[in-house]
């Protein structure tokens, strides 16, 4: 019974966590229009712009470095096998499809989760510990609108942009490998890449980046709102935010890949 109770308790806690995340996601979605320019509140849009700089611009160097390294590694690993069959040109297809459909959104999500997801949790957790969230409620201000919605809007805008930049950096790394191996001109490489990429792959990567953005922001903010105790609880919430967001991002990626596989080969 102890094993069954532990398993059942873990399942119940997981379902309760997903339920709370879904409720918060819907609340953040409803509050998002009040953050937008012209139709929302001016101060909220300024906060969203600041979050765009923090989440997007500051993360671009790390996204670029990881994408270049991953693209070069992917090209070398694929080239090592394809060279044996005289099919080195298919390295370009591998890099282009791999980044647009899978690696670009996933690498971006990992970088943003480690940088911004933990920061969201730590910032909001500190606000909870210092009773700032309670002060907002006392002044009849919705914490979701004041804290979560600007971050939600910012992430939904900049994370797809970061995914596009990740694709670009990865493909440039693939060209660097092909140039060293075959002295391939960049213009010809772009032509091969354009022939390899399909619109559905780009759309799938874009949709993935939107879902990953929603997961990272909502997990980070919810872990911050759930902080109870002293400063040590803030550190635990930041760690939990990274763990949960990474797990849910991978789970969502598995779901998207399975749907694509079933639809593509049915």
- Element (H or E) spanning 110, and its range? helix 104-112
Joined together, the tokens standing for residue 164 give 């596009």
Confidence grade of residue 195 (pLDDT, cut at 50, 70, 90) = confident
At residue 229, does pLDDT exceed 80?
no
Cα 118 versus chain centre, distance: 13
Confidence at residue 236, expressed as pLDDT on a 0 to 100 scale: 85
Confidence at residue 265, expressed as pLDDT on a 0 to 100 scale: 54
Cα 116 versus chain centre, distance: 10
At residue 164, does pLDDT exceed 60?
yes
Interatomic CA distance for residues 48 and 150, integer angstroms:
4
Long-range contacts of 126-129 (CB under 8 A, 24+ apart): 126/234, 127/224, 128/224, 128/225, 128/227, 128/228, 129/227, 129/229, 129/230, 129/231, 129/233, 129/234
> Is 185 strand, coil or helix?
coil
Pick the more confident residue, 74 or 5: 74
Question: Poorest-confidence range of 4-13, 70-79, 133-142, 160-169?
Answer: 4-13
Pick the more confident residue, 50 or 85: 50
At residue 54, does pLDDT exceed 60?
yes
At residue 165, does pLDDT exceed 90?
yes
Interatomic CA distance for residues 104 and 64, integer angstroms:
10
At residue 28, does pLDDT exceed 60?
yes
Query: Would you list the DSSP string of 208-263?
Result: HHHHHHHHHHHHHHHHHHT--SSHHHHHHHHHHHHHHHHHHHHHHHHHHHHHHHHH
Pick the more confident residue, 41 or 160: 160
At residue 43, does pLDDT exceed 70?
no
Pick the more confident residue, 209 or 143: 209
Confidence at residue 65, expressed as pLDDT on a 0 to 100 scale: 93
Unique residue bearing structure tokens 């992917």: 74
Joined together, the tokens standing for residue 231 give 């400063």
Mean pLDDT of 223-236: 81
Confidence at residue 123, expressed as pLDDT on a 0 to 100 scale: 87
Mean pLDDT score across all residues of the chain: 85
At residue 40, does pLDDT exceed 70?
no
Confidence at residue 159, expressed as pLDDT on a 0 to 100 scale: 93
Confidence grade of residue 264 (pLDDT, cut at 50, 70, 90) = low
Pick the more confident residue, 65 or 228: 65
Q: What whole-number percentage of the chain has pLDDT above 70?
A: 96
Interatomic CA distance for residues 21 and 29, integer angstroms:
12
Instruction: Report angle CA 102, 211, 249 to the nearest 5 degrees.
Output: 65
Q: Nearest Cα to 175, choosing from 70, 91, 86?
A: 91
- Element (H or E) spanning 68, and its range? helix 60-82
Tens digits of per-residue pLDDT, 170-185? 999 988 888 888 888 8
Pick the more confident residue, 82 or 78: 78
Interatomic CA distance for residues 79 and 90, integer angstroms:
8
């Amino acid at each position: 019974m102890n094993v069954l109770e532990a398993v059942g308790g873990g399942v119940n806690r997981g379902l309760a966590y997903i339920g709370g995340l879904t409720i918060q996601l819907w609340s953040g979605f409803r509050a998002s229009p009040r953050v937008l320019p012209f139709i929302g509140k001016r101060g909220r849009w300024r906060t969203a712009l600041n979050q765009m700089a923090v989440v997007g611009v500051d993360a671009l160097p790390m996204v670029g470095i990881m994408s270049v390294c991953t693209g070069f590694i992917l090209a070398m690993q694929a080239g090592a096998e394809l060279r044996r069959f005289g099919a080195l040109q298919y390295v370009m297809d591998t890099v282009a499809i791999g980044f647009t459909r899978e690696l670009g959104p996933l690498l971006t999500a990992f970088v943003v989760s480690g940088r911004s997801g933990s920061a969201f949790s730590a910032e909001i957790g500190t606000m909870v510990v210092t009773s700032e969230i309670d002060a907002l409620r006392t002044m009849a201000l919705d914490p979701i609108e004041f804290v979560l919605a600007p971050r939600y809007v910012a992430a939904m805008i900049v994370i797809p942009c970061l995914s596009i930049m990740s694709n670009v950096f990865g493909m440039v790394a693939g060209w660097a490998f092909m140039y060293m191996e075959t002295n391939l001109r960049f213009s010809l490489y772009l032509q091969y890449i354009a022939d390899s990429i399909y619109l559905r792959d780009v759309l799938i990567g874009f949709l993935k980046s939107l879902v990953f953005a929603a997961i990272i922001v909502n997990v980070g903010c919810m872990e911050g709102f759930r902080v109870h105790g002293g400063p040590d609880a803030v550190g635990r919430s930041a760690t939990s935010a990274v763990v949960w967001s990474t797990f849910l991002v991978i789970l969502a990626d598995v779901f998207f890949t399975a749907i694509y596989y079933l639809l593509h080969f049915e």
